[in-house]
Structure 1
Amino acid sequence: MSVYPQHFVDPIINKSLQKEKAHELSHIPIKPALNVSTDSIFYGELKQKFTNYILKEGNSALARELLTKTFEIIKRTQIERLHLAKGDKGSIITDAETLLINAIENTRPLLHLSAIKRGGVKYQVPIPLTEKKSYFLAMKWILEAAREKERKVSLPEKLAWEILDAACGQGRVVKRKDDLHRLCESNRAYAHYRWS
C-alpha cells in the first residue's frame, strides 16, 4: 500500500539517466526520493541493505561506520596478500565491495525446506526461494556467523574474515548453504507435495 497513486513514477536517482529521461518525465508525477537514496559513486543497493541488516536499535551511523571499518580491514588484508603473492597477482581482488558481492552470491541458497502436513505426517518439502529472500538469507547468515565468533574480536574484523572466506567459496556460511542444498536434494521425493 502506498501513499501515492499508481500513476506516480518512482524517482530516478542516477543523474545520467535523469538527463536522458527528462523529456519523458516532464509531465508525469514523480514520487519523492527516499532519505537513503543518493547518486554518489559509493552508493550500492546491496551495501545499503547489508548496512540495514547490521543496524541495531536505529543507530544507522554506527552501522555505516562498522561496514566502513570492515571494508578497510578487507582492503588492507587483500593488499597485504597482493604484496606477499609471488605468482599471479591479477587473481587477487582488492576491491572490498566486489568481494562483498561475491560473498553474497556464493552464499545465496536457491532452495529451502518447508514443512507441509499430508495425512497426519509432516514432510520437509524443498521449495525454490525468491531472489529477494535468497539475498536476505545470504546476508543474514554472514552476519550471524560473524556474531557467533569469539567476543574478544571486534565485529568489523570478524565480519571481514567471514566475507573473505565466503568470497573464496569457503567458510561456515558456504557450508551452511551446501548443507541446506544437500537436505533439499535428499528430500526431493516429497517435492510433489508442494502442489497437492
Structure 2
Amino acid sequence: MSFLSRIAEKASKLSGLRLMSVYPTHYVEPIVQKDKQLEQKSDLSKLFHVPIKAAVNKASDTVFHDDTKEKMINYITKKGNSALARTLLSKTLELIKRTQTEHMNLAKGDKDAINTNAETLLKQAVENCRPLLQVTAIKRGGVTYQVPVPITTKRSYFLAMKWLLEAAREKERKVSLPEKLAWEILDAAHGQGRVVKRKDDLHRQCESNRAYAHYRWS
C-alpha cells in the first residue's frame, strides 16, 4: 500500500469517527425552554431515570433568546461573521419597530390592533411564507414528471427564511439589507409581498400536478 493510500484510508476513518455521536442512542434530547417544560410537565416524570444529552452552548432560557432569530442569524451569516449578521438582524427588527410605531401613532382608529412587536411580526412572516408542498422531478417511462411531495417542518422553515433573504437581496443595491429585509418581513407578516406570492405559486403548481402524485410511491 502506497503512502498516499494509507493517508487517505486514515482520513476516511477519522471522518467516520467525527460523524458518530458521543451519546448512545438511548439518550434523549434536552428540553431547554421553560414554556416547553411546562407544556410537557406530565411527561417529564417519565424522564427521571432516563439519561439526557447535554444542552448545546447556544441554548438559552432567557427572555431574549428566540429560536427563529437564531436561525435567521445563521442564514444571514457569510464567511463566519455571525457578529455582523446579528447586528443586521437587530437593525432590521429596530426598523420594523419604528415603522409599526409610526403607523400606530398616525392611525385614527383602533391603535391596539397594530402590532408593534418586531419578533412577533418576524414569526408571523415566517409562518405565512412556509410552503407545505414542493415539486420534485421523477422520471417514469422516459418522461420526467413534476410530482408534488410534502416537505418536513424543518425544511419549510428553512425555505421561508431563505426566500425572505433572497427577496431582500434581489432589491435595489443602494438600499441597506436591514431596510430591505424589514420591508419583506412586514409585507409577509400581512400576507402579501413577493415571498407569499412565491409560496402561493408553488402550491398552485403542486395542485396542477396532483394527477402525478402517485408516482411518488411507484
TM-score w.r.t. structure 2 length? 0.82
Q: How does 1:122-141 map to 2 (within 5 A)?
A: 122-141=144-163
Which residue in 2 is equivalent to 1:39? 61
Deviating more after overlay: 70-79 vs 126-135:
126-135
Which of 1 and 2 has higher RCO (CA within 8 Å, sep 6+)?
A: 1
Q: Equivalent residues in 2 for 1:168-183 (5 A)?
A: 168-183=190-205
Q: Which residue in 2 is equivalent to 1:102?
A: 124
Answer with 42-51 or 72-81: which moved more: 42-51
2:215, 2:123 → 1: CA distance? 35
Can you list the C-alpha shifts for 1:158-186, whole angstroms capped at 9, x where unaligned? 00000000000111000101111111111
Residue by residue, what CA displacement relative to the aligned partner does 1:116-135 show, whole Å, maximum 9, x if unpaired? 10100000011111111111
For 2:22, the equivalent position in structure 1 comes to: 3
Quote the offset at 1:34 in angstroms. Answer: 1.2
* TM-aligned CA deviation for residue 88 of structure 1: 1.9
Deviations 1:14-60 (A, max 9, x none): 46849x89987676544322121112101111111111111111111
3-state SS, counterpart of residue 37 of structure 1: coil
Unpaired segments ≥5 residues, structure 1: none
Question: Residues 82 and 63 from structure 1, CA distance in 2 versus in 1: closer, same or farther, beyond 3 angstroms?
Answer: same
Secondary structure at 1:164 match in 2: helix
Q: What do residues 123-157 of structure 1 show as CA deviations (whole Å, max 9, x unaligned)?
A: 00111111111111111000000011111111111
Structure 2 SS opposite 1:90: helix
Bigger Cα Rg:
2
1:74 and 2:96 correspond: yes
User: Kindly tell me: are residues 125 and 22 of structure 1, through their superposed partners in 2, closer, same or farther at Cα, counting changes over 3 Å?
Assistant: closer
Post-superposition CA distance 1:60-89 (Å, at most 9, x none)? 111111111110000000000000111121
Runs of 4+ in 1 over 6 A off after TM superposition: 20-26
Counterpart of 1:144, as a letter, is: E
Aligned partner of 1:162 in structure 2 is 184
Q: Which runs of 5+ in 2 are unaligned?
A: 1-19
CA separation in 2, counterparts of 1:72 and 1:179?
31
What corresponds to 1:144 in structure 2?
166
| Counterpart residue type for residue 72 of structure 2 | F
Q: Which residue of 1 aligns with 2:139?
A: 117
Read off the aligned partner of 2:217 and give its amino acid letter. Answer: W
| Residue 90 of structure 1: how far off its partner (Å) | 2.0
The aligned runs of 1:13-28 (5 Å cut-off) are 13-14=32-33, 17=37, 28=50
Question: How many Å separate the matches in 1 of 2:44 and 2:111?
Answer: 44
Cα 1:90–1:2 change in 2 (3 A) is: same
SS in 2 for 1:65: helix
Aligned length: 195
Percent identical among aligned pairs is 70
